[in-house]
Structure 1
Amino acid sequence: MTRRVIGILGGSFNPVHNGHLMLASYIAQFGPVDEVWLNLSPQNPFKEQSELLDDRHRLAMLDKAVNGSVTVKVCDVELSLPQPSYTINTMEKLESMYPDYDFRIIIGSDNWPRFPEWRDSEALIERYGLIV
């Protein structure tokens, strides 16, 4: 049996917009993944908390934006993790929750210059791979 490959596109989604959705849809259709999960981050270490709408509002916007897609889904795992949200913690949690899936990290090219500043960035690349 082939393992499902899930692309994780994390973000504040404050608010979610067409660029997020087009990227996720494109990668889900033509990329090396079976699905893309839009992973809501309650607190990005690089952003001020005061700039963010409430988590439940951003989650509701994501649910509405995804609108029942079979290849793009919403992931709220970070809402139950310590803040600020570090991608390495998220990926390890997802790996433990879904041991039969393989995960890849998706980031926008705007995040690439700061990627070396991410916690355990080298481990993220080695363990999960990166789609920019």
Structure 2
Amino acid sequence: MSKIGLYFGTFNPIHVGHLIIANHLIEYADLEEIWMVVTPHNPFKKKRSLLENYHRFELVYRATENYPRIKPSNIEFKLPQPNYTVFTLAHISEIYPNHEFSLIMGEDNLNSFHKWKNYETILENHFIYVYPRVSAEKTSEKFKNHPKIKFVDAPITEISSTMIRNGIKNKKNVKPLLPKEVWEYIDDMNFYKK
């Protein structure tokens, strides 16, 4: 069984913070690969600010090209909308029966995890790797010592895609926050400027 971590996100755009966390988990957790799962539409986010699926996947592809154990995934593009993680996990586990899939999430997401569709089913069948966030409130007791939840001492990065989009719109230099290939694609395509 290969141990695969699934790092879900709209990645609008992917930035160095995402890569720092993914790379840390590859190097320090017991995962063999991390798949960056580009989410077409998160039920909790407004759709209008999203780049087209294809472009966000292209950004993730370019960002991860030099990381052989971090891979882009568009598996959710073919699933019914809106995407619910529980259905994606069932689908991906069926396609790849020789892989053991775990979820990767920030501590802030763990605090709203009880609101996720069928979250108990997710916990029954999958491990969850949680990385720290400065902005996270205290983790609920329900999840603190859960045998399926692993807290990872990853570097705390408070870079956000929203901050990057706003920076580009306001003509700020956000280059240090993005992998070079990602910045070049965004700049060539004139993304986020309006």
TM over 0.5: yes
**Which whole-Å CA distance do the structure 2 matches of 1:10 and 1:100 have between them?**
20
Specify which of 124, 145, 166 is matched with residue 126 of structure 1.
124
5+ residue gaps, structure 2? 131-194
Q: How does 1:70-109 map to 2 (within 5 A)?
A: 70-109=68-107
- Flag as ranges the 4+ runs of structure 1 deviating above 2 A: none
In the TM superposition, what is the alpha-carbon distance from 1:70 to its structure 2 partner?
1.6
**2:38 aligned with 1:40, yes or no?**
yes
- The percentage of counterpart residues that share the same residue type is 34
Counterpart in 2 of 1:4?
2
In the TM superposition, what is the alpha-carbon distance from 1:9 to its structure 2 partner?
0.4
Q: How many residues align?
A: 130
TM-score (norm 2): 0.65
5+ residue gaps, structure 1? none
**What code does the residue aligned with 1:123 have?**
T
TM-score (norm 1): 0.95
SS in structure 2 opposite 1:6?
Answer: strand
In the TM superposition, what is the alpha-carbon distance from 1:54 to its structure 2 partner?
0.7
Specify which of 48, 52, 57 is matched with residue 55 of structure 2.
57
In the TM superposition, what is the alpha-carbon distance from 1:110 to its structure 2 partner?
2.3
Superposition RMSD in Å: 0.9
Deviates more, 1:54-63 or 1:108-117: 108-117
User: Which structure has the larger Rg over C-alpha atoms?
Assistant: 2
**Which whole-Å CA distance do the structure 2 matches of 1:71 and 1:38 have between them?**
11
Counterpart in 1 of 2:11?
13
**What code does the residue aligned with 2:31 have?**
V
**What code does the residue aligned with 2:87 have?**
N
SS in structure 2 opposite 1:110?
Answer: helix
